[in-house]
Amino acid sequence: MRIVFFGTPDFAVATLEKLLTDTNHQIVAVVTQPDKRRGRGSKTIPSPIKKVALEHNIPVWQPHRIKKDQPTLELLQQTQADVFVVVAYGQILSSQILQMPKYGCINVHGSILPHYRGAAPIQWSIYDGEKETGITTMLMDEGMDTGAMLLKAYTPITLFDNTYTLAEKLATQGANLLLETLSQIAEIKPIPQDDNLATYARLIDKEDYHIDWRKSSLEIHNQIRAFYPNCFTTFRQQKLKVINSLPLDDLENIDLPSELLKIKSYLSDIYTLKGEVGEVVKPIKNFGFVVQTGTGLLLILEVQLAGKKVQSAWNFINGTHLELGERLN
């Protein structure tokens, strides 16, 4: 097939690279978001997808508003593509664009539709404590992830996944499912979505990063890993990011990674602890410190103080001389 690929972030890279290794398909052009200025020097940074495309000498188009960009629309029409593949591109495609390719526009979406339509399905599935997610390929229409579904693939969400680790899994899964979809595109019967079952994964606001210690330990843990590495609290009037954590409720029934197994030996003492919401109630040597939440206890494993590098919570204790009874606000 002749393919035009639409994508922007790291999540889309696995699919583009998979297509580039498949001799059944030809990427004739890549459409991605315009370069952005980032960092201290406000350097112009190309998208991850643009970097891959340039490495393979593929034409790259970067319209600011693709629906209104007549030169890009004409170029797209001239490609005579069989299909447009869209993976986290970041702009809505018009009906004019959707109708250009022979087999339409196929989107690789990071959830099991119709659940978690929208811009941040991976983050909100973790935040909500879902145990399973996956990838859906669909034929795009003019709605927000409302098109008819083609194929699905499922993957579990573990207690230790964060948005980065889960995105890596789903990116690989999405690349494989896209190739499977293309190989069967003439035979697959699209299945309309049931709008009554739809849920939405809205854009993330800065307010979503602020930790409210009145929530349960599991809710806070899910927030920390969903919005990794941006969630924060206040420590001694300074901003403190919480990078990694572990809810200590019902830990006997959880399979811990080997580096955390020793924590179970502290449980008999931990379960007797009680403090005010946000209070540091116990240090655990070589691991970190335990905080009282609205319901249950949360072990903080990694943190980042404003202006400092990420460090283990144990090193943070030693560096700041954290004391029992101090409060995180």
Residue 47 covered by a domain: yes
Q: What is the mean pLDDT of residues 220-242?
A: 97
CATH code assigned at 164: 3.40.50.170
The answer on 188 and 238 residing in a single domain is: no
113 is in an annotated binding site: yes
pLDDT of residue 270: 86
Of 92, 100, 102, 110, the closest CA to residue 15 belongs to 110
Give the per-residue pLDDT at 106: 98
pLDDT at 323: 93
Of 153, 179, 201, the residue that ends a domain is 201
Please check whether residues 177 and 269 belong to one and the same domain. Answer: no
What are the tens digits of pLDDT across the range 286-312? Answer: 999 999 999 999 999 999 999 999 999
Q: pLDDT of 6-37, one tens digit each?
A: 999 999 999 999 999 999 999 999 999 999 88
pLDDT recorded at residue 249: 87
pLDDT-derived band at 268 (thresholds 50, 70, 90) equals confident
Number of domains in the chain: 2
- Residues 6 or more apart whose Cβ sits within 8 Å of residue 43: 37
pLDDT of residue 173: 98
Q: What are the two backbone dihedrals, phi and then psi, of residue 147, each rounded to the nearest 5 degrees? A: -70, 165
Do 291 and 297 form a contact (C-beta atoms < 8 A)? yes
The verdict on 176 and 255 lying in the same domain is no
Residue 174 counted as domain residue? yes
The CATH number that applies at residue 251 is 3.10.25.10
Task: Write out the residue range of the structural domain in which residue 295 sits.
Answer: 207-320
> Looking at the predicted structure, is the pLDDT value of residue 215 above 90?
yes
In this prediction, residue 254 carries a pLDDT of 86
- Are both 22 and 141 inside the same structural domain? yes
Whether residue 184 lies inside any domain: the answer is yes
112 appears as a binding residue in the annotation: yes
Confidence of residue 245 (pLDDT cuts 50, 70, 90): very high
Across the range 220-230, mean pLDDT stands at: 98
pLDDT at 271 (0 to 100): 85
Residues 25 and 153 in one domain: yes
Could you tell me the pTM of the whole model?
0.94
215 and 188 in a single domain? The answer is: no
pLDDT digits (tens, 9 = 90+) for 186-201: 999 999 999 999 999 9
Could you tell me if 179 and 247 lie in one domain? Answer: no
Give residue 209's pLDDT: 98
The residue among 167, 201, 235 that closes a domain is 201
- Can you tell me the mean pLDDT for 251-274? 87
Choose one of 201, 232, 255: the last residue of a domain: 201
Same domain, 143 and 163: yes
**40 pLDDT exceeds 80?**
no
pLDDT greater than 80 at residue 38:
no
Does 226 lie in the same domain as 197?
Answer: no
SS (H, E, C) the chain: CEEEEEECCHHHHHHHHHHHCCCCCEEEEEECCCCEEECCCCEEECCHHHHHHHHCCCCEECCCCHHHCHHHHHHHHHCCCCEEEEECCCCCCCHHHHCCCCCCEEEEECCCCCCCEECCHHHHHHHCCCCEEEEEEEECCCCCCCCCEEEEEEEECCCCCCHHHHHHHHHHHHHHHHHHHHHCCCCCCCECCCHHHCCEECCCCHHHHECCCCCEHHHHHHHHHHCCCCCEEEECCEEEEEEEEEECCCHHHCCCCHHHHHHHHHHHHHCCCCCCCCEEEEEECCCEEEEECCECEEEEEEEEECCCCCEEHHHHHHHHCCCCCCECC
Question: For 140-154, 229-243, 269-283, which range has the lowest pLDDT when averaged over its residues?
Answer: 269-283
- Mean pLDDT computed over 115-121: 96
Summarised one tens digit per residue, pLDDT across range 122-165 is: 999 999 999 999 999 999 999 999 999 999 999 999 999 999 99
Instruction: Assess whether 226 and 192 both reside in one domain.
Output: no
Q: Are residues 257 and 151 in the same domain?
A: no
Tell me, yes or no, whether 253 and 168 share the same domain. Answer: no
The reply to whether 47 sits in an annotated binding site is no
Say whether pLDDT at 57 is over 90: yes
327 within some domain:
no
The pLDDT of residue 251 is 83
